[in-house]
Structure 1
Amino acid sequence: MSVIRRRSLLVSTIDIWPLTLTGEDTEYGRCLDWLDQQERERASRFLRRQDRERYVLAHGGLRFILGLYLGLAPARIEFSSTATGKPTVAGLRPEHAALTFNLSHAHGNAMVAIAQGREVGVDLELIREDVEALKLAERFFSDREQQHVRSTAPESRSREFFHYWVAKEAVLKAEGVGLASLQACEIDWSSGSDRDGVPVRLGEYSQQPWVVRTLDCGPGWVGAVAAHGADWTINPCNPCAAATD
């Protein structure tokens, strides 16, 4: 991977970059070289080699993608965080000050969302049939969401549960608050067309008008992206094309 030219981004567009967290040793080594000391220390704490490699590839991929927009080599990017712990890029020049991003990775896949002038959150999950969907919904979902999951046919219940889960996580990650707010975040699927552009209620935790949209993550996966307002569209991006552009 190498940064060739700076990539532009419209305020009305959120770029979505899918990443596959597998690679040859050279790719892993390159991503590891890009990480800062804190990221390397965190990677070293993973007991399983596979988890360590996935972390390195996800965070190296994030650095590569951010470098496309900032015109920086991946290793030169420095991170900071908000008061609530949401990651940000430190020391941005004025022309990049409005750039925001979010990363999600699970079970060997990752998604990076890049936005301009609005906070953004993204989440993806592998649909697993071994989860206790009803019990988890009772713990983390609003009454209306629980009823929706409960009324779903058993063979579709896990998928429905994860549709809600990724949507709620995307909103909370965009807002920069933790999972303790899951129940306060209510997704209103009934008002969206094909679950696109769905409004969100986030209780006392937010004064912002959040909207969540679902992502096409392939068979067996669900994903969602959340951002302020409804005046934005999703732009799928190809990291392989960017790497060879």
Structure 2
Amino acid sequence: MTEEVNQLGGEAPRLGALPAGAAVAVWALDTTRDVVGGHPVAEASAVLDAGERDRADRLLRPGDRHRYVASHLGLRALLGGYLGLAPEKVTLVREDCPCCGGAHGRPAVAGGAVHFSLSHSGDLAYLAFAGAPVGVDVEGVPSGQAVADVLGTLHPAETAELLALPEAERRVPMARLWSRKEAYLKATGTGLALGLADPYVGSGPTPAPVTGWTLRDLSAPTGYAAALALAGR
């Protein structure tokens, strides 16, 4: 089953209630836009915080810089709308890493009123907001070589599923699998620190169940796959 995704454009977003409990809201954004959520990308320095501006300045390619700034403008526009704050007044922090305890875990809002996750691939960004830990991921369909490079790092059952397919037919299932895996790893805050073998999420049309989590595929444009992981059932 795939879940629907809201589209964030150049105008200020129209939002419902702040997601709580099992509620979750997912938005997609074309990061080539010059205006996002009512804010011009060229004037983003007035909205982003010092850390975001520094990260943007370190991106050497103008296109990469534009996509990063656009996605973070979208994040702040949506967070500000849900929290009743101006986007520049939203304070972003890092949770403690669940692996080592360092202050480089999941991105979070100070005070924890809402959980969020941001992912981007190519010219597309996905943003998720929920009342519980949440992770979202969007992935472009990988090349055949990229599939071959990661086959041995997956759960053994996932590797077997992909190897059972003709080589030319592995790319789309791999994109599905990868987006599910990344969504879960973002939601837990572990990232890639513990590898890609666990949990088993499967490469078929429906995600495999993961204990303690709700895992769903999201609708995505042709050439992409996207997934959402939410703590709880």
Report the CA distance between 1:189 and its aligned residue. Answer: 5.9
Give the number of aligned pairs: 212
Report the CA distance between 1:228 and its aligned residue. Answer: 1.5
Supply the AA of the counterpart residue of 1:200.
Answer: V
- Higher fraction of helix: 1
**Which residue is equivalent to 2:31?**
21
> What is the DSSP-based 3-state SS (H/G/I as helix, E as strand, rest coil) of the residue aligned with 2:210?
strand
**Which residue is equivalent to 1:241?**
none
Identity between Structure 1 and Structure 2 (%):
33
- Asked whether the 8 Å contact 1:137–1:161 carries over to 2, the reply is no
**Which residue is equivalent to 1:41?**
54
Tell me: higher relative CO, structure 1 or 2? Use CA pairs within 8 A at least 6 residues apart: 1
Q: Deviations over 1:147-167 (max 9, x none)?
A: 001112323201111111111
**2:177 matched to 1:195?**
no
**Which residue is equivalent to 1:219?**
222
Distance of 2:210 and 2:173 partners within structure 1 = 17
- Asked whether the 8 Å contact 1:127–1:159 carries over to 2, the reply is yes
Report the CA distance between 1:187 and its aligned residue. Answer: 1.1
**Which residue is equivalent to 1:88?**
108
Of 85, 103, 122 in structure 2, the residue corresponding to residue 107 of structure 1 is: 122
Of 117, 132, 135 in structure 1, the residue corresponding to residue 149 of structure 2 is: 135
- Asked whether the 8 Å contact 2:158–2:203 carries over to 1, the reply is no
Distance of 1:130 and 1:154 partners within structure 2 = 8
* TM-score for both structures, normalised by structure 2: 0.83
Gaps of 5+ in 2: 1-10, 98-104
- Asked whether the 8 Å contact 2:139–2:175 carries over to 1, the reply is yes
Gaps of 5+ in 1: 202-208, 231-245
Listed as ranges, the matches of 1:112-123 within 5 Å are: 112-116=127-131, 118-123=132-137
**Which residue is equivalent to 2:7?**
none
Distance of 1:24 and 1:79 partners within structure 2 = 23
Q: Please, what is the CA RMSD of the aligned residues?
A: 2.1
* TM-score for both structures, normalised by structure 1: 0.79
- Asked whether the 8 Å contact 1:211–1:228 carries over to 2, the reply is yes
> What is the DSSP-based 3-state SS (H/G/I as helix, E as strand, rest coil) of the residue aligned with 1:199?
coil
**Which residue is equivalent to 2:3?**
none
